[in-house]
Each structure stands twice: as structure tokens, then as C-alpha cells.
Amino acid sequence: MKILMASSEAVPFAKTGGLADAVSALSIALAKLGHEVKIAIPRYYNVDREPLTKLEGEMGVPVGGFEEWCAVYYTNMPGSPTKNPVEVFFIDHEIFFGRDGIYGTPSEPDFIDNPRRFTFFSRAVFQLCHKIRWFPDVVHAHDWPSALVPVYLKYALRNGPFEKTVSVLTIHNLGYQGVYHKDNFHYTGLGWNVFYEGGFEDWNMLNLLKAGIYSADRLNTVSETYCEETKQQAGGFRLDGPLRYRSANYRGILNGVDTDVWNPQKDSYIPKPFSAGELSGKAAAKAELQKFFGLAQDPDVPVIGMITRLTGQKGVGELFGPGYGSAYSICRDMNINFVVLGSGEAWCEHELQSLSSRLSNFRAVIGYKEELSHLIEAGSDFFLMPSRYEPCGLNQMYSLIYGTPPIVRRTGGLVDTVQNYDEATGGGTGFMFDDLTPQAIYNTVGWAVWAYYNRKEHIDAMRKRGMQHDFSWEKSAKKYVDMYKDAGVKKSAAQKTAAAIAPDSAPKKKTAEKRPSKK
């Protein structure tokens, strides 16, 4: 199949979270299965044009009654198969994307022109196909920034070269929907009837993700449990209704792990490789981690690790909220080390620094550090992820395959990837709790620490069990292919039926032949 991914992020070019990992790894996995995959992303300021190849000429993109002009660059995706590489196309528009930040900057977290930037990008995706004379079987959009791709396909481009193309929208995080003033709708160039029919309207505002949900031929999110949660009021972020409405064509497909990057047997960021059968490298990683953070290199004290965006979704209020969160009492009461790598909300960054200065066994690094994130996964004994909600979550999967049992809240993708510890049998792969409260986090960390000191054989078995998991992308990529095929079959059947009941849209020749001659 010919598959075009449209995304605002893709590693190694642009990343704020797991979306970037998922888009690139899924594309590579699909190419390895033999499909022809291309990715379209904006050319942000930090993407150097130098190593890229420029497509000849400029590209005009019709938006809001006029044209925006841009350039297009491309390159092969690193890590994709040499015989069937994934090509990445960069939409280069200086005014929209030639600035620091993907969606915003610390002083302007959501750029005021974001609705225009990503409307333009979504429309440009189709112009790109014309420019390279390549028309996909599937356009696959991700999250609100490319949610207009299925909308354009349905309302503006359904005939001509995209007649057989189907659209898929993957929701990586329902908490972000792209809600803006409805005046921005003009810029789409679509008729106002589409504002209502196409599902843009949201309490008199413009909701880009909602429109995508109404228009895509198929929808999915990144785990089965999260798929169910999003159809309920508590987890639906006000879009549970539209998602229930689309439920026949909405499913959950768990993300995988890019095992070329996250693999303890060949990870170049850790001191020594290790596997379930040979764990000495894990002990070496723990010593290195304790050294890096200036902690005593004691192999017997459990290290609890955490790598996260510092935002409410990740449970940081209950863990680090000043005078409220449980991190302080966990470190005060338990014989552990606690290390955190993260960046995000300013209050939380300050609190992490404050805890580091008040507690001898707590250390934090503020920032985004790829290399250190590998050492934390490898060197920790437990990985903490008390998420308020979690569509899939990648870090708990990384920690499982690095022999680091996760301590997680029972929500979303965490339910689908972690099995709770059973004290009676020693079964399970991690520790789970239900309520997002400081007390529940405290108790569950305490439970894991108790098992570490008192049920060592259970912890060893849990580590090994976690390391056996097959989180390869191939399994998930096959499910995406099934979804693409199903959408294609249904679309062509629907087109045939439409042609049969509307003779005007059937091939002209036949109808003309049947008509009696006027003479």
C-alpha cells in the first residue's frame, strides 16, 4: 500500500513527546512489511536544510481564498530499510515554521497563529502529492495538528486523484484538541456548512480534532483500554459523545517500542549491555546512575526513576505539589534513592530543584536528555508513572524491557502493558494503584520497596518476566494495515453502491448508449 503519514512530530526531526516516536517507528515498521511510506512534517527552524534535498520549484497551497507559497525538502528516515526507505518531506514555510518551538515557547505556549499554521500544513499535504505525482491509498493523520487532513479529503478532495484514498486519524492524546476562535475557520477555505456538518463547531468555537473525528474513515487511539475510557464522560474530554457516535470505526491499537533504539542488549548509552540471562550490566548501570546523580553507590538501596513531561496528565501534582505531594514523605520515610528527569510546568521544575536541595536521597535534572533517559531506564530498580490518564505510555514499556518494574496508576495503556504484583505467587510485572492521591502513590511505592527488601526472589522474577515482553512494532503495524485495508474495501464498496443508485455518477458512456436518440 502507499501510505502518507501527516504529523507535526517525527523523531529525529521534531519531538515533544511519544507522538514523535510512534509516528517514525510505525512508518519504519510498515516499510519493513513492504509498504511504501512517506511522512510529511513541517520544517521547523531547528531542522537544518543543509543535509536535505530540495524539490525543484515552489509549491502553492490554496487556503482561505488565496495561495500560500512554500518550499519542500526531503530526506530518507534514518533506520528505515535501505531497499524501501521511508521518505520524509518537510513543508518549509518561513513565516509559519521558521521560529523556535513546535507549538509554542515557554512565554507563548500556544502560538496565536497555530490554527493557521496547522490548517496550512494539512492542506499542503495534498499539494505535496500533486507535486511528487504520488497519490496514496491511505492518508494517516495524527492528533489535532493534522486532523484537518481527513476533513479536506472528505469535503474538498474526494474526487480526482484522491478518489480511492482513505483517511485514518490516530488520537495520541485526547487532552489536546486544537480549540480556537471560530474566525479562524475562514482560513480553511471550506464552506460554512462544513463548520457544522463537519463537526468543527464546539460551543461556538472551532475544534480541529473534533472535525477530524467526524471526517476520518477510520479512527484509532493507542491502546484498547484508553479507547474505552475515551468513550466515557470521565475520560472523554467532552468528545466522548462524538467518539461513541464513531465507535463502529474507532478502535485501540497499542504502540510498540523501537527495539533498535530501546534495547538493553545493544544500547550504546549504558555502560554495559545486559539481558534477562545476564544482569551484571544492569548493576553497572545502577552504579553509573548513582554516580551521575552524586548519590552513594550502594547496590542494595533501591533506585526509583522517573522521566516525564512535568504536566498534570502525568500525576505530578499528587507527587510533587508543594506541601501536598507525596515525594517528600516517600524520600523521608523510605531507604531509597529517587531520581527524576523532566521538563515542563515552571512550578514543578522549581519544586524538583527545591526537593533536591532539601533531601539527600532525591535528585532531579531539568531538561530534555535522551542519553540520560536510557541510563535511568537501565539503572533504576523501579520506574514511577502515576499518570492521571495515559493513552499508551512508552516509558513503562521501556522500563519493562530494561528489567525495571514500573509502579503505575491503573489507567489507559498502563493497564494493557503492566500486570499487578501478586504477593502470594510472586506473579506480575509491576505495581498498580487506582486512586490518584498522594497517599495511594506513597502506599504503592512503599509496597514495591517492601517487596524489594523482603521478597527479593519475587522482584528478580518480575524483572525477568518484564524483559520477555514482545513490544515490537511489527505486531501493531499489522493491525494498522488491517484497518487501512478494511477502510479501503468499505470505501470502494460504498462508491460502487453510490454509482449504481445515482446513474449520473456512473461512467458516462453507458448511460449515453441507453438514452434513446432525440432524432
User: Binding residues for ligand GLC, per CB under 6 A?
Assistant: 17-19, 22, 172-173, 222, 255, 390-394, 413
Q: Which stretch binds ligand ADP (CB under 6 A): 53-61, 160-168, 368-376, 434-442?
A: 368-376
Binding-site partner at residue 239 among ligand ADP, ligand GLC, none, CB < 5 to 8 Å by type: none
Task: Tell me which amino acid residue 372 is.
Answer: L
Distance CA 321, CA 311 (A): 11
Tell the smallest beta-carbon distance from residue 220 to ligand GLC (Å): 10
> CA torsion, points 107, 110, 114, 117, in degrees to nearest 10?
50
Tell the smallest beta-carbon distance from residue 105 to ligand ADP (Å): 17
Choice between 37 and 190, CB closer to ligand GLC = 37
Residue 312 binding ligand ADP, by CB under 6 A = no
Contact criterion met (CB below 8 Å) for 177 and 209: yes
How many CB atoms within 10 Å of residue 348?
Answer: 27
Copy the grid coordinates of residue 217: 474513515
Distance CA 321, CA 317 (A): 5
- The residue within the footprint of ligand ADP, chosen from 4, 341, 348, 384 (CB under 6 A), is 341
Binding-site partner at residue 222 among ligand ADP, ligand GLC, none, CB < 5 to 8 Å by type: ligand GLC
Choice between 18 and 466, CB closer to ligand GLC = 18
Choice between 184 and 417, CB closer to ligand ADP = 417
Please identify which residue in the block is written with the cell numbers 537544518: 48
| DSSP code string of 252-317 | E----B-TTTS-TTS-TTSSS--BTTB-HHHHHHHHHHHHHTT----TTS-EEEEEEEESGGGTHH
Distance CA 167, CA 200 (A): 17
Distance CA 364, CA 353 (A): 7
- What x/- string results for residues 381 through 420 when contact with ligand ADP is judged by CB under 6 A? -----------xxxx-------------------------
Q: Which residues contact 14 (CB under 8 A, 6 or more apart)?
A: 8, 20, 41, 42, 44, 46, 47, 102
First to last CA, the chain: 49
Tell the smallest beta-carbon distance from residue 404 to ligand GLC (Å): 17
Binding-site partner at residue 368 among ligand ADP, ligand GLC, none, CB < 5 to 8 Å by type: ligand ADP
Residue 202 binding ligand ADP, by CB under 6 A = no
Q: Which stretch binds ligand ADP (CB under 6 A): 43-51, 52-60, 244-252, 338-346?
A: 338-346
Residue 145 binding ligand ADP, by CB under 6 A = no
Binding-site partner at residue 370 among ligand GLC, ligand ADP, none, CB < 5 to 8 Å by type: ligand ADP
How many CB atoms within 10 Å of residue 279?
Answer: 17
Tell the smallest beta-carbon distance from residue 392 to ligand GLC (Å): 3
* Residue 475 CA to its chain's centroid (Å): 17
Distance CA 469, CA 257 (A): 11
Interacting residues with ligand ADP between 19 and 38 (CB under 6 A) = 21
Which residue number has the CB closest to ligand ADP? Answer: 18
Tell the smallest beta-carbon distance from residue 218 to ligand ADP (Å): 22
Binding-site partner at residue 307 among ligand ADP, ligand GLC, none, CB < 5 to 8 Å by type: ligand ADP
Tell the smallest beta-carbon distance from residue 335 to ligand ADP (Å): 27
Residue 307 binding ligand ADP, by CB under 6 A = yes
How many CB atoms within 10 Å of residue 460?
Answer: 13
Tell the smallest beta-carbon distance from residue 15 to ligand ADP (Å): 7
By CB under 6 A, name the binding residues for ligand ADP: 17-18, 21, 307-309, 341-343, 368-370, 373, 392-395
